[in-house]
Structure 1
């Protein structure tokens, strides 16, 4: 109910409203979550296959660890891609500064 009234993320509020309407009509939580297209399929599968609250808590803990690991891997891949690009950019700036200093000097030496 609290998430339904959340004003910062409209999509979250919209999904909570739809889930609560489906639950009030007698749908199960897994069926209600399945209609939310932006939620991961694994999350709906967790609610579909687990009926026990203790097992559901355990499954959601495992799922959150899986998502955190996935996010960390994506961040590491991004950093591994950004670092070489940054170094190439710095090298380009150094070469341009060197050229800006040395080219006028070479032109002056050719005039002698």
Structure 2
């Protein structure tokens, strides 16, 4: 992994990877070894679930909100959505709403 980060430019220079590397994926490689030690070896399912959550929790709100102090907006939006989901589940349990499934 250290060699990859040291020599990854060769892929661009030789035309193997013309468009460059995905920076979020490349950055995640920096944490990969430590995460394997802490959480066991990840597989495609684990990474796809995490990527799906990232899209839902961070990327979609980023697209929808203004970019001014975006982190605060994203956190507030996610908190509101969590409260709405909890209220909906509570209302269904009390028979105040029809079951949505």
Please tell me the TM-score bracket, short chain as reference: 0.3 to 0.5
Which of the pair has the greater relative contact order for Cα pairs under 8 Å at 6+ separation? 2
Q: Which has the larger radius of gyration?
A: 1
| TM-score normalised by the chain length of structure 1 | 0.32
